[in-house]
Amino acid sequence: MFVNRLLTDLLWLVYPELCAACDRALNSGERCVCTFCRYHLPRTHFHLEKDNAIEKRFWGRAPVQAATAFFHFSKGEKVQRMIHKLKYKGEKEIGVGVGEWMGHELKDAEGFAGASLVVPVPLHPRRQSKRGYNQSAMLAEGLSKSMRIPYSEALLRNLETATQTKKHRFERFENVNRVFAVKNPAELENKHILLVDDVITTGATLIACAEALLEVPGTSVSIVTMAYA
């Protein structure tokens, strides 16, 4: 035990774990994000607010039970850097760590506490193969762990759509129309599904996913994302 701890401490001195938000070395007991950043990152706290800005995105479009985003997103700020590392730099542990953090707060929140299955928004297999993993699945894994509910990659993406980044609102909805399907509907029957993505902008992708999930008898859907742009 002592030898293992000594080796761990020596390894940390040579290759310290860095905060995903500010790149400073993490102290003992800190994980993924340092204590300073945990207090100062731009949290939304929307999960405590009924009819919040995220829920309003789905009014008249998809009958979701609850919706939230964990952080506000601003270009050039820490949250954008975290998401960039998660999506493009191979730092998938950021997704798992932030997912666990989100789950600890959502597990007792109204609208989320009754969730029985965590489902990530899928990537097309070609894009996932190129990236090596699905960033939304990493968030979902963390949520599943801390909320102690099962995780399932229950959705598949039928088409490889163009990136949503530079599209206008209507183009985003057209881009994902009827793209998603449920792999095994029987697995989802009568489940309260927590649908997970990294960032919400117009909500087009999440609406398309929710529509596919809600076609399964007895399902309800709540939505959580890491950030809100």
The domain locations on the chain are 1-40, 41-228
Say which CATH class 41-228 falls into: alpha beta
Taking only the tens of pLDDT, the chain with its 229 residues reads 555 554 445 444 445 799 999 999 999 889 999 999 999 999 999 999 999 999 999 999 999 999 999 999 999 999 999 999 999 999 999 999 999 999 999 999 999 999 999 999 999 888 899 999 999 999 999 999 999 999 999 999 986 555 545 544 544 445 556 789 999 999 999 999 999 999 999 999 999 999 999 999 999 999 999 999 8
Pairing of strands 180-182, 155-157: antiparallel
Question: pTM, whole model, 2 decimals?
Answer: 0.86
